[in-house]
Amino acid sequence: MDKLKKFIDTNREAFEDDLLPEGHFDRFEKKLPPARRKHFKLYSLCAFAAAASIALLLLLRMPGGTPVPTNNQKASIQKQCSEQKEFNELQMYYKMQINDIMAQMETLYKQDKTTGSADLLQESKRILKDNYMFEKTILPTLPCSNDGLFAMNQHYSASVESLNIMLKQMERVTNENENDNK
């Protein structure tokens, strides 16, 4: 090990030369396997996020769960609900987080319109549709209690986490594409 260090120290200028032979990168890239694995991870991540959203939606809609109240019952439940303010604040908090993430994703997509970023943006819009369906069908049926707040928190936190993962993937795809273009 000392001989190697001594050799490097004595021949420092040979190691500091950054110039590679012409065509080095082209020959190196030809030897690399195709980048199938990168796309597989991206698509599997998107599929996982969509499946998690659908599973949560189906879990909350299972028979034997909370019965769907009529319009009169909904009005009386909301009047009696002391946690309604917390429901509204929690919903607003998560919607703000979701809107921030979506704005970042759309900005990244506008900067670099690649196939991967377009697919991620499309999958994130599916999560938004799932949230809309949750708000219209399941949220009104949740009990006005800590259990209802917990279920609402679980749904929205899973959505935000999925969107954050997709945002990180989109940043990675955009950065890789920028590096490839240089």
Domain boundaries, the chain: 41-71+82-181
pLDDT tens for each residue of the chain, 182 residues long: 688 788 878 887 776 666 666 777 778 777 776 665 556 666 777 777 777 777 766 666 665 555 555 565 555 555 556 667 777 888 888 888 888 888 888 888 887 777 777 777 788 888 888 888 888 888 788 777 778 888 888 888 888 888 888 888 888 877 776 666 65
The contacts of residue 145 (CB under 8 Å, 6+ apart) are 83
Contacts of 10 (CB under 8 A, 6+ apart): none
Tokens of 158: 């899973």
Tokens 């000392």 appear where?
2
Q: What residues contact residue 111 under an 8 Å CB cut-off, 6+ apart?
A: 174
pLDDT at 144: 78
pLDDT at 19 (0 to 100):
64
What was the pLDDT predicted at 30? 77
Buried b (16+ CB within 10 A) or exposed e, 69-80: eeeeeeeebeee
Helix residue ranges, H only, 11-114: 12-15, 24-31, 36-60, 71-80, 84-111
Task: Provide the whole-model pTM.
Answer: 0.52
